[in-house]
Structure 1
Amino acid sequence: MSSPSFDADSTLGALLVGTLVSYVLFGVTTTQVYIYYDRFPEDSSKMKAMVASVWLGELAHVICIGHSLYVMVITDYGHPERLAHIPSSLFAATFVGGMVSAGVQSFFAFRIYILSKSLWIPCICWAMSLFRVLPSNIVTFSYGIHEPLGEFIDKWNWLFDTVWAISAANDLLIAISLVFLLYRQRNYTLKRTTAVVNKLIAWTVETGVVTSAAGIIMMAFFIINRASFIWMAWFVVIARLFSNSLLASLNSRASLRALQETVVLASTPPVSATLERPMDCEQSIEMNKMSITTYNP
């Protein structure tokens, strides 16, 4: 990359903005992790270990992108031609971010299995998550570290386009499957118990759309202008979106339980009516319990 054609705004500037946003979201992630351990001490050790591993992965990710930015902006200051070889720490961030994203997708795919008791869609989602991690990281560590960035992207852009497209499709498949399964469950609940399931559906749509839209936007910038780092700015943010969607999903159980109690209290008939129709109230409570239980991991 020659100095006359160097554009600091679309390269280092874009990466700086993406890194700052990523750091802010890491603060949100850390806060959500604290809330999770404070509110759900009764969760299984496996679930707690998963949350801890996601946070540690995010910590490693922010350290790697911070080191990469420091090398590009400070160590290589005044030498834009060195941007042709990006720091190896950014490749490490690519691996860690891919593992976190694939892990979160796998978790939601497992939730599909819990709701459907079928392995067809979860297996497809797991295969797509695996494809997100393996090919791109194998190629990156085999060729990307040794080749100039421009040549590496020109040679392997088709692979990254495919990986990111499949990842976005995986997010949509997971969201659509969860919404369908929750909506089907909604049809079997009483009218006064549908508020909890409706909330689950809304949150599922929101989290699925955010991660999928971010992946599509990143891929669009990559296709339009690979020479800039705008796509890279989105890339360092996406891992944080996945971890926050996971933690928001886990922490939302407190709100769902509060909503469940409100619905049950509001739908509980007077004492005289309860004596006449005891099974109606019991059925309402059981339907609410089923909504929360099937949503929980």
Structure 2
Amino acid sequence: MSAPTFNADNTLGALLIGTLVSYALFGVTTTQVYIYYGRFPQDSWRLKSLVVAAWCCDFAHTICIAITIYTMVITNYGHPERLFVLPNSLLASIFIGSLLSFGVQLFFSFRIYALSKSFWVPCICWALSLFRFVPPNVILFVFGRGPAAQFLGRFGPLFDAIWAASAANDLLIAGTLVILLYRRRNAGLESTVAMVDQLIAWTIETGVVTSIASLLMLIVFIALPSTFAWLAIFVVIPRLFSNSLLASLNSRAALRCAMRKGVPSSSRSTGFSAVPRPVLPNLKNVSESFEMNKVTMINHDD
């Protein structure tokens, strides 16, 4: 089968632009990891392990994309027919990126369970996450080493359904979290309304960004299947997931600061753990101060 007509602009050029954007977002991820470990040393080892795993997946994905670019631009220079055969490094990057997205979606699905204490919506989210993670990787590693045109012509509709399910899952997670937070907002104190509103805004931003990226990649893939424009978006999506995870964790510092400033002292009896406890004086220092004052008064009388 003859290779499609080679056009460096919408193939290598599109992939290069997507890679540069992906690398810039990797720098943002690394900065957020540094901020996280500086602000939250008291977090549980499970949460810290999740952050380390997310950064390691991001780093491995970055290396695989770099190898893919080098293979396509340097190793296969002068052989445009090789451009449309997916290299092993690209297959590895797809697996790592889907693993990262899978883990982040599981994390936000667990947040839904923690807020609602119900398994219905989290189970739907977990099922959609598994559908996004398992079938594409099995298909890629079994059938993905041939020409890309044959592979996409055979499994293209399945990948359309997978990416649509991923976008729907992101919207479901974001929408459910917004509804649960809005209920907490109405049932909470007046002093916490602004804090919950900020949480709702951040939830919408992080969920909608990943969903829009998945839908945009699906649209470009259907409209321009013989180009790498969809692949340029695909290499950016894992960075959006890792940054949404870290932004969600690091935002707790701003919320705690706002809560300390916004909650009046009369509301300390309401049971909020984030309100600072009153500092009790040192009884030894008080006793010594009292004795010194007593001696001074006696000398003054004499």
Per the normalisation by structure 2, the TM-score is: 0.88
Provide the C-alpha distance between the structure 1 equivalents of 2:100 and 2:31, rounded to a whole number of angstroms.
Answer: 18
| 1:286 paired to 2:272 | yes
| 1:79 paired to 2:76 | no
The residue type paired with residue 157 of structure 1 is G
Provide the C-alpha distance between the structure 2 equivalents of 1:3 and 1:228, rounded to a whole number of angstroms.
Answer: 12
Q: Deviations over 1:174-217 (max 9, x none)?
A: 00000000000001112232011001000000000100000000
User: Which structure 2 residues correspond to residues 34-183 of structure 1 after superposition, within 5 A?
Assistant: 34-145=34-145, 147-183=146-182
Provide the C-alpha distance between the structure 1 equivalents of 2:85 and 2:98, rounded to a whole number of angstroms.
Answer: 21
Q: Which residue of 2 aligns with 1:274?
A: none
> 1:245/1:32 Cα in 2 relative to 1: closer, same or farther (>3 Å)?
same
Q: Percent identity?
A: 58
| 1:227 paired to 2:226 | yes
Q: Deviations over 1:48-79 (max 9, x none)?
A: 11110111111110000110010001111121
Q: CA deviation at 1:2?
A: 6.4
Q: Which residue of 1 aligns with 2:296?
A: none
Q: CA deviation at 1:38?
A: 1.0
The residue type paired with residue 226 of structure 1 is P
**Cα RMSD over matched residues?**
1.6
> 1:3/1:281 Cα in 2 relative to 1: closer, same or farther (>3 Å)?
closer
Q: Which residue of 2 aligns with 1:24?
A: 24
**175-184 or 186-195: bigger deviation:** 186-195
Q: Which residue of 1 aligns with 2:185?
A: 186
Provide the C-alpha distance between the structure 2 equivalents of 1:87 and 1:3, rounded to a whole number of angstroms.
Answer: 16
Provide the C-alpha distance between the structure 1 equivalents of 2:254 and 2:243, rounded to a whole number of angstroms.
Answer: 16
The residue type paired with residue 216 of structure 2 is I
Provide the C-alpha distance between the structure 2 equivalents of 1:189 and 1:4, rounded to a whole number of angstroms.
Answer: 60
Q: Work out the number of aligned pairs and report it.
A: 275
Q: Deviations over 1:117-156 (max 9, x none)?
A: 01110011011111101000111111011x2000000000
**Structure 2 stretches lacking a partner, 5+ long:** 276-302
Q: Which residue of 1 aligns with 2:237?
A: 238
The residue type paired with residue 105 of structure 2 is Q
User: Rg bigger for which structure?
Assistant: 2
**Structure 1 stretches lacking a partner, 5+ long:** 269-277, 290-297
Q: CA deviation at 1:288?
A: 6.8
Q: Which residue of 2 aligns with 1:215?
A: 214
Secondary structure of 1:35 counterpart: helix
